[in-house]
């Protein structure tokens, strides 16, 4: 039985609010205009006493919808967290008194602001419901790890140590991945002087010994479906036998493939045994096992040239545009293989920029110099066979001359290509009912948006590399190691450890129905009114996280566990049937509609600001803390993501007489900072349609502006509001005031 809705409004007079605005007037508005059943003012609302007052009303008076008119929703979140009730916040501290001058002339407009924020808070909460979890999760906590190299094994061991079961699916016949082919690795601890044992054997032993870890060798994942807490995966062996298992979360550690050196014939590759790649040299070194390293055809080696950036950091067709990060240090390590065995062997590392990242990188470089490795800043143009070995032609970048050197062996530092599966931007998903396994896919997801993890650029899997490097665009599935970005062993270990913890967190969250980052803990999830749905699939296509599938009848099927609660689907829906319990077309629409719009000749314009809660809204809060003032005509509504902006809000606002509208989202594109990856970008595309609306209303295009705001824009964000106020002064008030 649904409880009866009872709205309580609590107005704080602390932090100077009571001195600057007439809270009694606000209370009257809440009660008379907004029909708040219980309205109270308090001198110090976030104090134990104030909080108790509210809790008492909840407990004894049946209040279940609470509008707190005090500080920003980003402040005092602990104090104002009440269970099982809907809560809204009217921001009269950061949003009003801190951004307005304390003068007599300003007091009237300041009061109007405070009253509007009161109206907005009460009207918002009246259409909210306290969210409850959907119960979709099956509560599974075990991890599926796809790829049994260093990253995969590390993730499994870390998960097991934390008490979670892990299953490794490895394509080849043995664990170890690329690292298993290394003779030695770059040192990971002080004094960073000599190559070290790769540690692979020890890792394999640890995996084998762990009762919480199961390993499937010679196996691949042929189908993945479900959501965090209830993933299902088909694990198929070489012979074709398939077993279906269930998991709580997934980590993809599919590693890298060495760049194909056959694309570098000018560097002599493929013509003889004296030009090898770094990986091939590892094999030669492993075969020598500390003894004399010889070429594959058994020749002595007295001089070696390592050519860095072979086919990397290059604009040429077929080359890798990026730096693989590990290869400079790897070449130093490999030159040491020779120097440690016989210091008389000449080793030259030919580089354009020597990069030795990591804490020990510089020490290792120095150790290499100390051991007599020669470092030459130069670009190799051609490697030819001279009968006795190779001649390397190169441009010496310091001496600024074309020159050459002879070497018995040339080693090419060719870089990493991610094993990231199929590029879903190129290869679309099979149509419903016609789904088939792809041999090129790593995960074989049955998700509507495609079979593998989305890629950002250069073929690496996308992750939120600026703010939350582990978060991918498929909730509950994490990528770690070189499939995510080029990295060395040390970084891969760290990466896998982080991914394991994120995967555990995802499984735990799923069980409780809670959202993952950035709305961590949010219990709301999108639901849609089937009767209204036109099956346009906008939501399915636009969801940045691929959370929406299609059912047999082609209706959207929301997977709550995969959803990040950004609301992009809600913004996308042309018939507005998607909503959350605590965030909907109405919760925002009600706020827009209930702002008091003065008559045209009052010369008091209204500017609606829809501000992303992750960057723009905090920026405005911080501006307020720093005492930056902005126009008293602005009414700011925080939104989950610019992607959740439905055009109807803009249209409604224009129709009801707002004079200007500002949309504030995050940076989009390759260097995106949008917390929901694609939300801001999608919204900005969507907003291009606003011009039509403006035209049909014969309104100036300057009345609606969209900006990318960073959290650091504490001067700029208020300035943009003031700019809009100035624009309105110039072009005049909107004629649509009623």
Partner 1 sequence: MSDMNTAMVEKYRNSFLSEVEANVEEGEWVKMCMQCGVCSGSCPFGPYWDHPPQELFMMIRAGKREAVLSSESMWMCTSCYNCIARCPRGLPITHIMHGLAHYAKRLGLAPKNQQTMKFASIFWDNLTKKGRVNELQLGLKLYFMNGFVEGIKTALCMKEMGMSMLMTKRMSPMEYFGGHSIKDTKGLHAILKKAREIEEAKAKQF
List residues near ligand SF4 by CB under 6 A.
526, 543, 545, 547-548, 558, 563-569
Residue 347 sits in the site that holds partner 1 (CB under 8 A): no
Residue 209: Cβ within 10 Å count: 9
Query: Quick one: three-class SS letters along 166-203?
Result: EEEECCCCCCEHHHHHCCCECCCCCCCCCCECCCHHHH
* 391-450: contacts with partner 1 (CB under 8 A): 396, 398-399, 403
Candidates 259, 375, 630, 633: give the one binding partner 1 (CB under 8 A): 375
359 binds partner 1 (CB under 8 A): no
- Beta carbon nearer to partner 1, 351 or 558: 351
Complex with partner 1: residue 330 or 645, whichever CB lies closer = 330
Distance of closest approach, residue 240 Cβ to ligand SF4, in angstroms? 36
Residue 376 interface partner, choices ligand SF4, partner 1, none, CB cut-off 5-8 Å depending on type:
partner 1
CB of 526 to ligand SF4, least distance (A): 5
Q: Which two tokens stand for residue 584?
A: 């909907």
Q: Which is nearer to ligand SF4, 160 or 566 (CB)?
A: 566
- Report the residue number, 378 or 421, with the smaller CB distance to partner 1: 378
Tell how far CA 409 is from the center of its chain. 44
376 contributes a contact to partner 1 by CB under 8 A: yes
Give the separation between CA 297 and CA 310, rounded to whole angstroms. 23
DSSP string for residues in 296-338: TT----SEEEEETTTT-S--STTS--S--SSHHHHHHHHHHHH
526 binds, among ligand SF4, partner 1, none (CB under 5 to 8 A by kind): ligand SF4
Q: Minimum Å distance from CB 646 to ligand SF4?
A: 12
Q: Which of 545, 649 has the CB closer to ligand SF4?
A: 545
Q: What distance lies between CA 563 and its chain's CA centroid?
A: 13
User: x/- binding map, residues 306-345, to partner 1, per CB under 8 A?
Assistant: ----------------------------------------
Residues 399 and 401: their CA atoms lie apart, in Å, by 6
Identify the H or E element spanning 636.
strand 634-639
Which of 74, 377 has the CB closer to partner 1?
Answer: 377
Residue of 366, 393, 537, 716 interacting with partner 1 (CB under 8 A): 366
Give DSSP secondary structure letters for 682-717. Answer: HHHHHHTTHHHHHHHTT--GGGEEEEE--TT-TTHH
Q: Output 478 or 630, the one with its CB closest to ligand SF4.
A: 478
- From partner 1, ligand SF4, none, interface partner of 545 (C-beta below 5 to 8 A by class): ligand SF4
The CB-of-571 to ligand SF4 minimum distance in angstroms stands at 8
Distances (CA, A) of 36 to 11, 21, 99, 124, 285: 12, 20, 27, 12, 79
- Judged by beta carbon, residue 257 or residue 535, the one nearer ligand SF4 is 535
The strand pair at 660-665 and 607-612 is best described as parallel
Beta strands 242-247 and 303-307: pairing type? unpaired
Contacts of 641 (CB under 8 A, 6+ apart): 566, 567, 568, 612, 613, 614, 665, 674, 675, 676, 679, 680, 683
The interface partner of residue 388, options being ligand SF4, partner 1, none and the CB cut-off 5 to 8 Å by kind, is: none
Shortest separation between residue 498's beta carbon and ligand SF4, angstroms: 22
Residue 399 interacts, among partner 1, ligand SF4, none and using kind-specific CB cut-offs from 5 to 8 Å, with partner 1
Residue 370 as a binder of partner 1 (CB under 8 A): the answer is: yes
CA angle 497, 710, 481 (to 5 degrees): 20
In whole angstroms, the minimum distance from the beta carbon of 548 to partner 1 comes to 53
Beta-bridge mates of residue 276: 411
State which residue, 37 or 352, has the beta carbon closest to partner 1.
352
| For helices 150-161 and 489-512, angle between their N-to-C axes, nearest 10 degrees | 50
Residue 377 near partner 1 by CB under 8 A:
yes
547 binds, among partner 1, ligand SF4, none (CB under 5 to 8 A by kind): ligand SF4
Q: Which residues bind partner 1 (CB under 8 A)?
A: 354, 365-366, 369-370, 372, 374-377, 396, 398-399, 403
């Amino acid at each position: 039985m649904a409880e009866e809705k009872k709205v309580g409004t609590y107005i704080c007079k602390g932090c100077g609010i009571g001195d600057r605005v007439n809270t009694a007037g606000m209370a009257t508005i809440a009660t008379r205009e907004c029909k708040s059943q219980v309205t109270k003012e308090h001198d110090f609302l976030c104090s134990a006493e104030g909080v108790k007052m509210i809790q008492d009303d909840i407990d004894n008076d049946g209040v279940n919808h609470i509008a707190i008119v005090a500080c920003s929703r980003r402040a005092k979140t602990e104090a104002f967290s009440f269970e099982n009730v809907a809560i809204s916040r009217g921001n009269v501290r950061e949003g009003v008194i801190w951004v307005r001058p304390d003068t007599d002339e300003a007091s009237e407009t300041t009061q109007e602001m405070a009253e509007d924020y009161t109206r907005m808070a009460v009207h918002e909460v009246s259409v909210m419901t306290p969210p409850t979890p959907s119960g979709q999760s099956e509560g599974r906590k075990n991890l599926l790890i796809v790829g049994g190299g260093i990253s995969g094994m590390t993730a499994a061991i870390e998960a097991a140590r934390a008490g979670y079961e892990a299953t490794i699916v490895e394509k080849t016949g043995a664990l170890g991945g690329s690292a298993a082919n290394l003779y030695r690795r770059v040192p990971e601890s002080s004094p960073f002087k000599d190559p070290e044992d790769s540690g692979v054997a020890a890792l394999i032993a640890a995996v084998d010994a762990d009762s919480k870890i199961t390993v499937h060798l010679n196996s691949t994942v042929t189908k993945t479906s479900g959501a965090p807490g209830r993933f299902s995966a088909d694990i198929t062996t070489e012979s074709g036998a398939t077993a279906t298992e269930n998991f709580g979360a997934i980590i993809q550690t599919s590693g890298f493939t060495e760049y194909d050196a056959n694309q570098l014939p000018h560097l002599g590759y493929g013509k003889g045994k004296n030009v090898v790649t770094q990986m091939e040299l590892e094999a030669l070194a492993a075969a020598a096992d500390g003894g004399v390293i010889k070429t594959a055809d058994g020749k002595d080696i007295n001089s070696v040239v390592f050519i860095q950036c072979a086919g990397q950091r290059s604009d040429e067709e077929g080359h890798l545009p990026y730096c693989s990060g590990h290869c400079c240090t790897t070449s130093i390590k490999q030159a040491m293989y020779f120097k440690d065995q016989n210091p008389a062997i000449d080793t030259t590392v030919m580089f354009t920029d020597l990069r030795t990242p990591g804490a020990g990188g510089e020490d290792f470089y120095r150790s290499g110099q100390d051991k007599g490795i020669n470092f030459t800043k130069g670009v190799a143009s051609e490697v030819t066979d001279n009968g006795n070995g190779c001649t390397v032609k190169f441009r010496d970048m310091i001496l600024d001359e074309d020159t050459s050197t002879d070497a018995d062996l040339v080693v090419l530092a060719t870089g990493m290509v991610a094993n990231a599966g199929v590029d879903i931007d190129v290869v679309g998903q099979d149509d419903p009912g016609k789904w088939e396994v792809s041999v090129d896919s790593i995960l074989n997801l049955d998700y509507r948006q495609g079979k593998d993890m989305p890629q950002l650029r250069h073929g690496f899997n996308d992750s939120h590399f600026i703010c939350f490097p582990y978060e991918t665009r498929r909730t509950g599935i994490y990528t770690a190691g070189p499939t995510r970005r080029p990295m060395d062993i040390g970084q891969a270990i760290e990466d896998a450890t982080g991914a394991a913890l994120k995967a555990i967190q995802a499984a735990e969250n799923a069980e409780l129905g809670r959202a993952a980052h950035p709305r961590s803990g949010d219990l709301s999830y999108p639901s849609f009114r089937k009767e209204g749905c036109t099956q346009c699939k906008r939501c399915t296509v636009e969801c940045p996280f691929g959370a929406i599938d299609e059912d047999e009848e082609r209706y959207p099927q929301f997977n709550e566990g995969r959803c990040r609660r950004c609301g992009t689907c809600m913004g996308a829906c042309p018939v507005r049937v998607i909503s959350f319990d605590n965030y909907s077309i109405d919760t925002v629409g009600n706020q827009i509609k209930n702002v008091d719009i003065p008559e045209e000749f009052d010369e008091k314009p209204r500017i609606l600001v829809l501000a992303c809660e992750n960057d723009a809204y905090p920026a405005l809060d911080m501006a307020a803390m720093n005492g930056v003032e902005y126009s008293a005509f602005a009414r700011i509504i925080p939104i989950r993501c610019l992607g959740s902006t439905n055009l109807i809000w803009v249209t409604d606002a224009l129709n009801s007489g707002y004079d200007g509208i500002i949309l504030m989202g995050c940076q989009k594109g390759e260097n995106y900072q949008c917390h929901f990856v694609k939300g801001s970008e999608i919204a900005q595309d969507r907003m291009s349609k606003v011009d039509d609306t403006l035209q049909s209303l014969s309104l100036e295009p300057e009345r609606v502006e969209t900006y990318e705001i960073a959290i650091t824009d504490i001067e700029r964000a208020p300035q943009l509001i003031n700019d809009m106020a100035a624009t309105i002064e110039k072009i005049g008030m909107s004629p649509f005031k009623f």
